[in-house]
Amino acid sequence: MKRAIITGITGQDGSYLAEFLLSRGYEVHGMVRRSSTENFERIGHLRSRVHLHQADLLDQLSIIEFLRDVRPREVYNLAAQSFVPTSWVQPVLTGEFTALGVTRMLEGIRLVDRKIRFYQASSSEMFGRVQETPQTERTPFWPRSPYGVAKVYGHWITVNYRESYDLFACSGILFNHESPRRGKEFVTRKISHAVASIKRGLQKELRLGNLDARRDWGYAGDYVRAMWLMLQQEKPDDFVVATGEDHTVREFCRIAFDHVGLDWRKFVKVDRKFFRPAEVNLLRGNPAKARRKLGWKREVTFEKLVRMMVDADLERLS
């Protein structure tokens, strides 16, 4: 039986990846950090089918013990401090989790079993002030947040361990991907949740920051498939995973409010509080390499994604 470790299994991507690997017959082991209250909402439906282990990206020994206990074939490193605004408030902690945490995982693999295949969750946020559009695997990075800087470190240390120790280490440069399981602080879910609350009479307005920001938004369920495909290739490599389309935050609002028969302009207020010290204005990826080498393509369109998220929040609130 194939055995895989997922760090960040309680997060959005971790929950979809766990479902996907289980459907492929994997034995799935997840890393969870200790907390005073359990935070397993996204994997509640999988609890009896996955094995959870306490370990932390900040604690090297816990990672080594975890790898020794499980002896996986594949490790998917999805855990991180992943919310960009928090990275200005906690830049050092973000670096510990999101940058050095990757080295701790790679060191664990180097010590325990160099045959383990490793996936690193890199991010389009690394492109920041974009040097070309669309962005490809060869576009230079110019991160615009402590989070983006930490992800650049995580990306290059993955490449470095591949080159230094011949590890099967891949970096997936994933553009924004969303779902009904997205955290409520991210803009897409903040919008879908507000639309449902307004429709149900529970909220009066929606305060947002930069409506002109453009993102290449896809569906998380499609993107975890690309992670797995990367680890099934003959050679380790890096891939951009994206839809190739970009849309503004304003457009997301319009489609979401339209879906429930409301005019977004009556409810959305711009609030400077949500503007960032340095913004990433435009992200649009070129997924040609992933399409060519992995045979990957997205299934869910932008409009379908928006409507799926609004419907899920309406359902939750009913």
| Secondary structure of the chain in HEC code, one letter for each residue | CCEEEEECCCCHHHHHHHHHHHHCCCEEEEEECCCCCCCCHHHHHHCCCCEEEECCCCCHHHHHHHHHHHCCCEEEECCCCCCCCHHHHCHHHHHHHHHHHHHHHHHHHHHHCCCCEEEEEEEHHHCCCCCCCCECCCCCCCCCCHHHHHHHHHHHHHHHHHHHHCCEEEEEEECCEECCCCCCCCHHHHHHHHHHHHHCCCCCCEEECCCCCEECCEEHHHHHHHHHHHCCCCCCCEEEECCCCCEEHHHHHHHHHHHCCCCHHHCEEECHHHCCCCCCCECCECCHHHHHHHCCCCCCCHHHHHHHHHHHHHHHHC
Stretch that binds ligand NAP, among 68-76, 130-138, 175-183, 189-197 (CB under 6 A): 175-183
Distance from C-alpha of 170 to C-alpha of 264, rounded to nearest angstrom: 41
Q: How far is the CB of 245 from ligand G4F (least distance, A)?
A: 14
Answer yes or no: 123 catalytic: yes
Contact between 286 and ligand G4F (CB under 6 A)?
Answer: no
Q: How many residues bind ligand G4F (CB under 6 A)?
A: 23
**Residue 54: which of 28, 31, 70 has the closest Cα?**
31
Residue 185 binds which entry of ligand G4F, ligand NAP, none, with Cβ cut-offs from 5 to 8 Å by kind? ligand G4F
Rounded to a whole number of angstroms, the minimum distance from the CB of residue 261 to ligand NAP is 29
- Residue 279 within binding range of ligand G4F, rule CB under 6 A: yes
Between 78 and 312, CB nearer to ligand NAP: 78
Nearer to ligand NAP, 221 or 236 (CB): 221
Residue 210 binds which entry of ligand NAP, ligand G4F, none, CB below 5-8 Å type-dependent:
ligand G4F
Judge whether 147 counts as a catalytic residue: yes
- How many whole angstroms separate alpha carbon 255 and alpha carbon 116? 43
Assign residue 71 a region (left: φ > 0; alpha: ψ between -120 and 50; beta: otherwise).
left
Q: Confirm whether 171 is a catalytic residue.
A: no
The whole-angstrom distance between residue 57's C-alpha and the CA centroid of its chain comes to 16
78's contact among ligand G4F, ligand NAP, none, with CB below 5 to 8 A by partner kind, is: ligand NAP
Q: Residue 258 Cβ, how far from ligand NAP at the closest point, in Å?
A: 24
Which listed option, ligand NAP, ligand G4F, none, makes contact with residue 10 (CB within 5 to 8 Å by class)?
ligand NAP
Q: Does 210 interact with ligand G4F (rule: CB under 6 A)?
A: yes
Candidate residues 123, 135, 192, 286; the one interacting with ligand G4F per rule CB under 6 A = 123
Active-site choice (19, 74, 125, 178): 125
**Of positions 185, 205, 299, 303, contacts ligand G4F by CB under 6 A:** 185
Q: Choose the binding region for ligand NAP from 54-62, 102-110, 198-206, 310-318 (rule: CB under 6 A).
A: 54-62
Identify which of residues 117 and 151 has a Cβ nearer to ligand G4F in the complex.
Answer: 151
The binding site for ligand NAP (CB under 6 A) comprises 7-8, 10-14, 31, 33, 39, 56-58, 78-82, 97, 121, 123, 174, 176-177, 183
List residues with catalytic annotation: 123, 125, 147
Q: Which residues bind ligand G4F (CB under 6 A)?
A: 82, 84, 123-125, 175-176, 185-188, 190, 208-210, 213, 215, 249, 274, 276, 279-280, 283
